[in-house]
Amino acid sequence: MRTLKTLLANNQNWARQMEARQPGFFATLAQQQRPKFLWIGCADSRVPANEITGLLPGEMFVHRNIANVVVHSDLNSLAVMQFAVEVLQVEHIIVCGHYGCGGVQAAWRGDRLGLVDHWLRHVREVAERHRERLAALPDEAAKVLRLCELNVLEQALHVSQSPVVQDAWGRGQNLSVHAWVYALEDGLLRDLEYCVTCSEEVALWYAAAIAAADRRPAGQPAPVPRLDLPAR
């Protein structure tokens, strides 16, 4: 098939439903985007940022790559961050990984997959940095779960240390960096207890988040308090 008729039909139905629920939605959205959030997540098709956070188009700026990696050599992620922080003036950067991440699993096992192996070296470096911590866990499953969490915390640390974020804090810009992880098994997000709002907090929050991870079973981060919110 030269055209994906099902997807095009789905799009038409979705657009009609959105316009019926909120007349003028697309006309307003087309004028300007004003998201408060930048999401840096994994490219995994099972982790759609807007859907799992209950946000509409225009409410979240999104960057995704394999294993939600943020490194100083990746101009793609740095450009996204700069645009989000300096132009869109987002207030929150959320680094979100997920359990069952194929990239993290491949990095841990040392799988040879081709070009992506170069990218996953960043995750392998996280594993090496926390080698003793991971070795203390009881089995391979626990080690991979913990590496998913540690990788998120390392990438959130990289975001916090980036010139884009450091300069924003230097200007007094209201900006916070968060580390979350998503569980495919229940569809719920977990907060990894890292929330940084200024340069002085980075080392303290990172150390506290690592210590908090050490105190709980791998794969069971601190639950987010339940709120009784009305359905959108």
Residue 166 lies in a domain: yes
Tell me how far apart the alpha carbons of residues 146 and 137 are, in angstroms, rounded to a whole number.
9
Would you say residue 225 lies in a domain? Answer: no
The verdict on residue 107 lying in a domain is no
The whole-number pLDDT of residue 3 equals 80
Q: What is the domain extent for residue 88? A: 33-101+149-215
Cβ(105)–Cβ(44) under 8 Å? Answer: no
Give helix then strand counts, H and E, for the chain: 10, 5
Is 199 contained in some domain?
Answer: yes
| Cα torsion angle, 185, 189, 191, 192, sign | positive
Q: In which element (H, E) is residue 61 found?
A: strand 60-65
Mark the ranges of the chain whose per-residue pLDDT is less than 50.
229-232
pTM: 0.92
Count of domains forming the chain = 1
pLDDT tens digits for range 31-89: 888 999 999 999 999 999 999 999 999 999 999 999 999 999 999 999 999 999 999 99
Whole-number pLDDT of residue 229: 46
Q: Which residues are the active-site residues?
A: 42, 44, 46, 98, 101
CATH of the domain at 57: 3.40.1050.10
CA dist., res. 192 & res. 222, Å (int):
7
The answer to whether residue 54 is domain-embedded is yes
